[in-house]
Amino acid sequence: MWKKIVAPILLFYFFALLQTSFFVHFSLFGVVPDLVFILYFGFTFYSIKKNQLLGNARVYEMVFLAITAGFFLDIFQLSYLGLSVLSFLIIGFALIRAQSALMNKDEGYPLSYFLSIFIISLLGYYLLLGLFLNYSSPINIFSFFSYKTFFSIIYDSLFAIVFFYLYRITNKINLPTRQLKLFR
Amino acid sequence: MKGVGKFSLNKKGSSWVKLIITGAVLLFFVYILSLLTYPAKNYFFTVSAPVQNFLWTAGASSSLYLGSFLNASSLAKENQNLKDENQKLLLRVYSLQSIDRGAQEFNQISAACQSKGFDIVMAGVVGLETNDILSINKGSVDGISEGMPVIDQQSVLFGRISKVYKNFSEVILLSNKDNVINVKVQRYQEDQSVPEGEPLPEINGVIRGLGGLSAYLDLVPINTEIKLQDILVTSAMEKIFSKGFLSGKGHQDTKGRPKTISTSRN
């Protein structure tokens, strides 16, 4: 039980430090990888295998992850606590809804499925952050969408792919093959 | 059958109530979090400062190593040394030009550059936040207050203190999207368009932040030719920054588009 609570807290704390102190030196066109978002998205995405599609346990887990990840991101990256928490909660609920709508109970998701949902979530995250940070002048939310968004998606997707395969290896998830499905 | 219909309607209604209550609770929680911003950020930055310092140094050295590895032809370290030397030379060029003009303001600029009349607090960078905001490891206990200009060893202006916590502070960089400062364009010394002996004309403009650690020079008069080697110094019109801080130099010259200026990165 302690692993489920303490491990994510430590991981998100460490990744927030990494993102704001270490990876700022590896920015690509001024874009720093959103490690905390990638970790949060990955954990929420794969929480489906342990719980039901829309079960309460999954929602509670997502809320816990969103609060932890958002809290540390706000501490080290944004001026006000709560903005990332709120964004992560909205993204999390949308992700759970999307996965339940797609009804893919197979935990061996292909990379394309993972990546496409990741990119949509990332764009949603930028949109929400833009909205919260420019609440006084909502038109400015489009300033969050520039050519840098394009590089940001590519850069973050690279890290997300690394997470995808690392998670599969560490959790021993096999990639689904056509042959296996034929003889199921 | 009617009963089933009523049941499903009630269930749907109660789920909406649940959703609204959950949303309200979450919004209240976020509001409480926002009230705790100051103590929470100060606590975590104080606790994490050693780790952040270590990660910052590790990141800087490993990116330097990676950079030199990727660009085998030129050593990144040598490049950095040349950049530092260039900054010193640019400042020297500006000082010499001021002497040639005989401007009285030079003494003030020189004094500012050589830290006379200023109380300087040495601080280290511990993090870079979104919207081009730096975190430094000095706060109100070290005498830092909001609005103070932040410079490096070569008197190159980085930005100003935007928020002060007990043990650390946030610095809003020149490249921040909300940042606009008045500057003077100091013409490059070897400008052939001006006859020898005559003072070089000063051009006023503003630096606007673009985000992503870059900015551009705006509001310069039309038909003004600005060279890549021209340097920009603060003009103190907005009464935030003192006069004469080196704030950048021409970096990219695109016809019909604003010039990007290069700002120092640490």
Residue-wise DSSP of B185-203: EEPPTT-TTSPTTSPPPPE
Give the mean pLDDT of A164-179.
Answer: 69
User: What is the rounded distance in angstroms from the CA atom of residue B206 to the CA atom of residue B234?
Assistant: 9
Question: What is the average pLDDT value for chain B, to the nearest integer?
Answer: 73
- Taking residues A89-107, report their average pLDDT: 76
What is the per-residue burial (b if ≥16 Cβ within 10 Å, else e) of A40-74? bbbbbbbbbeebeeeeeebbebbbebbbbbbbbbb
Least confident range of A66-80, A153-167, B221-235: B221-235
Res A10: pLDDT: 92
- The closest of B140, B185, B132 to B158, measured between CA atoms, is B132
Q: Tell me: the pLDDT tens digits for B61-70?
A: 888 777 666 6
Find all residues with CB under 8 Å of B52, minimum gap 6, and list them: A17, A20, A21, B45, B126, B127
Max intra-chain CA distance, chain A: 58
Kindly list the residues from chain B whose CB atom is less than 8 angstroms away from the CB atom of residue A146: 211
pLDDT (0 to 100) of residue B257: 41
- Chain B nearest-CA residue for A66: B26
Cβ atoms of A131 and A142 within 8 Å: the answer is no
Q: Which residues pair with B262 in a beta bridge?
A: B249
Averaged over B147-169, what is the pLDDT?
Answer: 83
Question: B203 has which bridge partners?
Answer: B185
**For residue B217, what are the β-bridge partners?**
B207, B259
User: How far is C-alpha B82 from the geometric centre of its chain's CA atoms?
Assistant: 21
Size of interface A-B (CB pairs under 8 A): 89
Model pLDDT for residues A130-161, shown as the tens digit of each residue? 777 776 666 666 666 677 788 888 888 999 99
Given an 8 Å threshold on Cβ–Cβ distance, is B177 in contact with A75? no
Enumerate residues 6+ apart whose C-beta is below 8 A from B16: none
Q: Identify from B26, B27, B30 which residue to disrupt to test chain A contact, counting A C-beta atoms within 10 A and taking the largest count.
A: B30
Find all residues with CB under 8 Å of B41, minimum gap 6, and list them. A75, A81, B165
Residue A182 has pLDDT above 50, yes or no: no
Q: Which of A25, A88, A96 to mutate to test the interface with B (most CBs of B within 10 A)?
A: A25
Distance of CA B142 to the CA centre of its chain: 21
